[in-house]
Structure 1
Amino acid sequence: MYRILIVDDEKDERNVIRFLLNKYRFQLDIIEANNGKEALIQLEKQPINILFTDIKMPFIDGIELATKARELYPTIQTIFFSGHDDFNFIKKALSLRAVDYILKPVKPDEFQQTLCSVIQNIKTQEKERAQIEANTELLKTHILNRLINKTPLEKLKNEYPSINFAYLNEYSQMILMQFDEPFFDRLPKEKDTLFFYQQIEEAIPNFSCDFIDLNPFQIILLLKKNRDNSLHTKQIATRIQKKIHLEYRINCFISISNEISAPYEMPRLYEEMEKYIEDHFFYSDTYAYSKEATSIESKNYPETDDDLLQAIQNAIKFADTVSFRQNMNSLFEKYRSNLEISHVYVRFLFSKLLQLLCHDLPLYDKRTINKTMEAIYSCHHFSDIEEILISVQNEITKRLEEEKKSPKHVIQIVKQYIHEHYQEDLSLNLLSEQVYLSPGYLSEIFIQETGCGINKYIKNLRMEIAKDLLHSTNMKVNDICHNVGYQNLSYFVRSFREHFGASPEKYRQMERKMKENS
C-alpha cells in the first residue's frame, strides 16, 4: 500500500482531501501534518510515496518542504494545492518536478484524475526499477561466471563500467557442487534452478548466498560474509548433500574453498575445489571436500581395504596410472603408522595385494610370487613390505604406460563423439566408456590437452551451436533448446544468458538489428 502525506495548516482543507480519497476509493495509507515542520518530521520517520502539500504555511513553506522531501526520497510524487494562482509559485513547482498544481477549492474530477496519474507513475517507476535490478543481477552473474573462468578482473571492469564491482567483495567462501548426471536439466519443466535454491534455503535457515550455473553438472554457491555463522561451512555442505540425496536420490559431491581474501583469487580457488573433488572416485564414502577436510579425513580412512584393492584392480584394467598410484599410496599411508592393526593381518593384506598385482605380469610366475610372499612374511618393519610392493608397482606402472593410448588420440576421439552426439545426454562416465579409460583419468588428460574440463567443453559447444541457430534460422527457442541437448527450457535460457549476457530472444533481436544496420 502506498503512503500519502497531506500537509495544510487548515484542518478543513485536509478533511476535504481525506474525504475525496475515500470517496474515490484510493487504497492509500493517509498521514496528515498541519505545517511544514511537522511534515518534515513525518518524512524523516517513514518513507512517503505522495506528498500533497499547501504552499503557504508557517515554519516551512510547501516549496522548501518539497525540496527536502525530494532529497530524502528522489522518486516522491509531489502535488501542490494552493489558493494563489501565482506564476512564480507554478514555476518553482515545475522546477521541483511536481506532478500537478491544483488550485483551491479542489475540483473533485481534477483531483481524481491527478491521483490516478500519480499512482500510475509510481507503478511505472517500480516496474522500471525492477527491470533495471533484474538486468543488473543478470550482468553480475555473467561477470562472476567469466571471472571464475579466468577472465581478468580489470578486463571485466573495462567492459562493464556501469557495474559497481564492490559486490564481489561480499563473498567469504565458495562451495562447488558436482553431480554424476545433468541434475538441473532434469528438474520438472515447470520448475527452474531458483526452485532448487529455495529448497536449500528451507533446509538451512538464515543461509545467504548467490549462485552460478557453470554447466549441467556443476554449480557454485557463493557464501556471503554477513551470513549466519552458527553453522560451519562443512556442516552446510553436508546438509545440502543430504537434502539432494533425500529429495532426488542422486549423489552430489561438494568441494569447499578456502576463505576468499580478494575477488581475483576466485579462479584459483575454483581450480583447487575441482582438484579436491577429483578424489571422490577413490574416497567412495566421502561427499564433502576441502583443503582442511582432505588432510583430516585422510587419517580416518573412510575407504575399506576391499575398496582400495578393487580400485587398484580397476586402475590396472583401465590403464589409469594416476588412480593406480593414488590408491597404492592410500593403502601404504593407511598402514604406515597404524600401530593398532595386527602384524599378521598387515602381512596377509599385502600378500593379497601382491597376488593381485602379479596376476598379469608375465615375469612373475608362481614360484617367484611364492618367494616374494615369503619375503613379505619375513619382514620386520612395514617399510620393508612397502619397498617390495613399490618395486612391483613400478613394473606395473611401466607396463601400463607402454600400453596406454596416446592422450591426444584419445581426446580427439572424445571430441568427435561430443560433436556427433551433443544433442544427447553426455556424461563423463559415458565418454570414458568410449575410450576404455576411467572417468578420473579421462578428465585429467582432457584438461591437460585442451585447457578446460569436459563439462565446460560440452556447454561451450552447445552454446555456440545455439547461437548459430538463432542467427541463421527461424527456429523457436524451445526447439533450439532441445536441438542442443537441453530438456529444461528455463535452464537453457538461464545458461544462455549467463554465457552471452543476453537471453536467446534478446540475442536474436540484436543480431537482426545489426544485420539491418549493416
Structure 2
Amino acid sequence: MYKILIADDEQDERNVISYLIKKYNFSLDLRNASNGKEALTILEHEHIDILFTDIQMPFMNGLELAARAKEINPTIEIIFFSGYDDFEYVKQALSLHAVNYILKPVNPEEFYKSINEVCQTISNQKQDYLINYDFTNAYNPSTISSTNLTEKTSSDVEDSMILSNIEQATRLKDPNLLRKNVSFLLKKYEGTQNISHIYIRYLCTTLLRYLLTSLPDHETMHFQACVDKIYTFNQFKEIKEFIESFLEKSLTYMKQEMQAPKYSIHVIKQYINGHYREDISLNQLADLVYLSPKYLSSIFSQTTGISINKYIKNIRMEKARELLVNTNMKIRDIGTTVGYPNISYFCKLFQEEFRISPEKYRNKGQLEE
C-alpha cells in the first residue's frame, strides 16, 4: 500500500481529496497536514510515496515543501493543486518534475486520472527494481535459469501486454482469451535458459493472482501459500503444471458462471458502473454478454425489478448527488460528468428523481452540515 500525504490549510479541501480517494477505491495509506511545516515533519519521519499539496500554505508554501520532499525522497511523486492559474507556478511545478498541476475546485475525473497514473508509475518502478536487481549471490545458479538478470527488451513489453490480456479475460469472464494468453506465456518460456528465474517467478506469481480472482473466495484465500509453492519449484515444468491446474479450475468455474443469467446481469451492471458517463445502448450491452437485446432486457427486469434504462439513470443520479454534496463542481459540469451534457435535461431528471433541484439539493446539504 502506498502512502499519500495531503497538504492543504483548508480542512474542506482535504476532506474532498480524502473522499475521492475512498470513492475511487485507491489502496492508499492517507496522511494529512494543515500547513507546509507540519507536512515536512511527516516527510522527515515517514516514507511518503505521493505528495498532494496546495501551493499557498502557512509557514512553508507548496513549492518549497515539494523541493524539500525531493531532497528527502528523490522518488516521491508530486501533484500540485491550487486556486491560482498562474503560469509562474506551473513553471516552477514543472521544474520540480511534478506529475500534474490541478486547479481548484478539483475535478474528480482529473483527480482519478492523476492518482491512477502516479500509482501505476510507482508500481512500474518497483517492478523494474525487482527485475533488474542482481540475485546472483542470493540464489543457486543450478536452479531454473541463469541468475544474471537480462536487460529489459521488447519481450518484457510483450509480457506486460499478455498479463494485461489475462487480467482482462478474468475480469470479463472470457475463457477463450484466458486460455490463449496463458498458454502463449507458458509456452514462450518453456525450455528457456537465458532468462532470470526470479523474473519467471514474478511473471507466474502475477499470472496466478489473476487466475485466482476468477475463482470463489475460498480459493483466493490460499494465494500466499500458492506463491510460496512456486518458489519451491526447481524446474519450469513444475511451475507450468501448477499454473495449468489453476487455469483449468478457472475455465471450469468461468463456464459454469456464464451459463447463469445472474452472471450476465453482473457483467452488465459492472459495465454500466464503469461507463455511466458515456452513451450506452441496449445493443451494445447485449453484445457484451452474447445475448439478444430483447432477452437481456427481459432477464434484467426480472432479476433486478427495474429496466436497464432505469438502472443507468439511478447510477447517474446517485453519482450526481455525491458530486453535489462532496465537491464544488458547477452543476453544468456535474451533468456532463454523469452523462447528461444538456444541463436542462439533467436538471429535469434530477428534479423528477429527488423532487428537488440540483442547486437546492446542494444548498440543503451544506445547511445540514
Same topology, TM > 0.5: no
TM-score norm. by structure 1 comes to: 0.28
Structure number with larger C-alpha Rg: 1
TM-score (norm 2): 0.39
